[in-house]
Structure 1
Amino acid sequence: MRRFSTIRNVHERTIEAPARAVGALLDRLSSPQDPIWPAPAWPPMRFDRPLGVGADGGHGFVRYRVTAYEPGRRVRFDFNPPMSGHHEFVIEPLGRDRCRVRHTLEVKRRGPMLVGWVLAVRWMHDTVLEELFDNVERATGTAPSPVRWSPWVRLLHRLMWDRADAGDLPTGARLARAAFEWTDYSDAYQMRMRPGMPRDPESWRGVLRGASFPVVGREGGEVLLGEDAGHLDFRASILVDDHQVTLGTVVRLHNRRGRLYWAAVKRVHPFMARTMLRRIHRRLAVTAPTAAERAQQAAASPTPHGS
């Protein structure tokens, strides 16, 4: 007979704002203009349809579906198998201009899953919820005392950050593709963009931290850096679109010295490229404006004529 332990975790905060105003924020949860979920520092909440009963999705590796939704008041998510349990947000009015936001998680776990909760998941879960409450306060005009990450949370965050995936040089990397008449080596590594991350490729030039390669071209969402030498020519392409950022490399070899040099370098190049892209991806996510700040900036921006 399997023994399960029920984990119950509750976070709540009193908000100095009407329940109706806070409920309107809750209704935008998981939308492209979500003002409260703490992305991009944490994986965004995404569903296969707008928030409502039947929507299926989750955040990161945690998968769930919406099983109850009372607009402006409550939303419940039931975890997908093999997990068993749910989590939900509830807004309780406390008067005309005050309310309480509560998040409750109940899940049955056993064995290694329980150990994982105790050692890692709980710490990140608690931080995500407190940051979400910070965003609720920001969005309703209150300046919160932002939650501080403990050293353990910082370590877990770094260790569990997304990895770069290898792929082909995208067709959109036109500058890289046209850099040389022939190419002796090329590769590309991609990572998914998260809400709030910069789309300007210039913001990503720090991926080559420690290297002073000059910019040799710019076009659309691509910036091309590189340098020519007697033994080889090197180009690094940074391509950014709404879905992913790509770090691509193209190399042209000139002579035996270049072939010997690149034979040694290419053994560590994939590891270094993945590591550099992952590092700046995380840094830009952690330092990006909060969801509430982005929503406020969007609301303050003038609407283009005719839109």
Structure 2
Amino acid sequence: MRKVHQRRIAAPAARIGPLLDRLGGPDDPLWPAPAWVPMRLDRRLAVGSQGGHGEVRYHVVEHEPGERVRFRFEPEVGLDGWHELRIEPAGAGWCVVTHEIQARPRGVVRLLWPAAVRWMHDAVVEDLLDNAELIGTGEVCRPARWAPHVRLLRRAFERSVREVPVPAGAALLAEVGAGREWPLADAWQAPLPEHVTDDPRAWHRAIFRTVPAWVGVALVLRNALVPVLGIDQGDASSFDIAAADEREVLVSTPERHLDFHASILVEERSVTLSTLARPHNAAGRLYLTVVRRIHPVVVSTMLRRALADLADLAPSAGEREVARRHTSPA
């Protein structure tokens, strides 16, 4: 299996080449994070450096500073082979940036590569080439655009959202929940990537105002069915902010059938969505019995969607590099 991505850029190789040598570092100007999982190496780019992006691990086997770097995949990846990035002169004031992968898939990767991984690979590399062009020329003539199926795959392969205990730092939630038993009390946590907003109000909007399509359909069905139980139909105001501070936002919805509270806590490296629910009557108990079975899927999906959406809104590596150069002393 071989794939080549190439971009001709109106900038000399001497301008683009130094960007290559910062790959995998804390100020990497090329790899498209936080929209994608960042590339991280255990040391400055050099032969022997080890790292990868997410579960895709590799190490540097060849490096020509400013010109080329080749990474060989680790055995556990399921790809026997390598991928490399190279920068070559292409006439006066021009260069060509090329990414090439040559590998033989093994095991389950033989199925995953054509079905899913290939499409995400293509999107990552094209975003990387956008960054190189932006830094080299100040603009991108034809920016890469993700196809709808790439967006779906990106969210489906997001593995970083996990269930955790309700955090002690969720003070607003602790205040409303003190002294009571809560039959439903859970929390789901996502990492807070570098350069993604740490404003809890922004996370509130991303979680509760732009829900995944299937969650929206489920809410419509919920509102159509609950009157049978004597439960009020909800609307968008059910998720309005009831209290907030600089780190946490609290949503509180006291209903006849149950009390519901949700907290969004943004800490240094994580965002946690916690839920408390307590029924008041038989209708509430029946409702909660049903809801708690799908609640983990709904909440984790909403948090995963918010993480992807806010990562998309964050400045790209190329935009950050351009801004840094504009603000740095000459």
TM-score range, shorter chain: 0.7 to 0.9
Give the Å deviation of 1:136.
0.6
Q: Separation in 2 of the partners of 1:159 and 1:125?
A: 15
Contact 1:79 1:86 in 2 (8 A): yes
Helix, strand or coil: the match of 2:176? coil
Q: Which residue of 2 aligns with 1:262?
A: 288
Structure holding more helix per residue: 2
Pick from 22, 45, 55 the counterpart of residue 49 of structure 2: 55
Q: Separation in 1 of the partners of 2:11 and 2:193?
A: 29
Give the Å deviation of 1:31.
2.5
Q: Which residue of 2 aligns with 1:208?
A: 208
How many residue pairs match? The answer is 297
Normalised TM-score (structure 2): 0.79
Helix, strand or coil: the match of 1:31? coil
Normalised TM-score (structure 1): 0.85
Give the Å deviation of 1:188.
0.5
- Greater displacement, 101-110 / 133-142: 101-110
Q: CA RMSD in A?
A: 2.6
Q: Which residue of 2 aligns with 1:138?
A: 134
Q: Which residue of 2 aligns with 1:122?
A: 118
CA displacement, residues 70-102 of structure 1 (integer Å, 9 cap, x when unaligned)? 332222211101432111111122355222212
Q: Which residue of 2 aligns with 1:194?
A: 193
Q: Separation in 2 of the partners of 1:110 and 1:238?
A: 41
Q: Which residue of 2 aligns with 1:64?
A: 58
Give the Å deviation of 1:155.
3.9
CA displacement, residues 116-161 of structure 1 (integer Å, 9 cap, x when unaligned)? 3233222221222112111111112133301233344344334323
Matches within 5 A, 1:4-43: 7-43=1-37
Contact 2:162 2:189 in 1 (8 A): yes
Query: Structure 1 counterpart of 2:193, which letter?
Result: R
Give the Å deviation of 1:266.
2.1
Helix, strand or coil: the match of 2:298? helix
Q: Mark the CA change 1:12 to 1:223 in structure 2 (over 3 Å): closer, same or farther.
A: same
Q: Separation in 2 of the partners of 1:302 and 1:102?
A: 29
Q: Separation in 2 of the partners of 1:54 and 1:117?
A: 27
Helix, strand or coil: the match of 1:38? coil
Give the Å deviation of 1:268.
2.4
Helix, strand or coil: the match of 1:32? coil
Q: Mark the CA change 1:49 to 1:172 in structure 2 (over 3 Å): closer, same or farther.
A: farther
Q: Mark the CA change 1:120 to 1:255 in structure 2 (over 3 Å): closer, same or farther.
A: closer
Q: Separation in 2 of the partners of 1:116 and 1:26?
A: 29
Query: Structure 1 counterpart of 2:9, which letter?
Result: I
Give the Å deviation of 1:112.
4.7
Contact 1:46 1:59 in 2 (8 A): yes
Q: Which residue of 2 aligns with 1:168?
A: 165
Give the Å deviation of 1:167.
0.6
Matches within 5 A, 1:157-306: 157-162=154-159, 164-182=161-179, 183-184=181-182, 185-206=184-205, 207-209=207-209, 211-212=236-237, 213-254=239-280, 258-300=284-326
Q: Separation in 2 of the partners of 1:230 and 1:53?
A: 65
CA displacement, residues 159-181 of structure 1 (integer Å, 9 cap, x when unaligned)? 32336211111232222223232
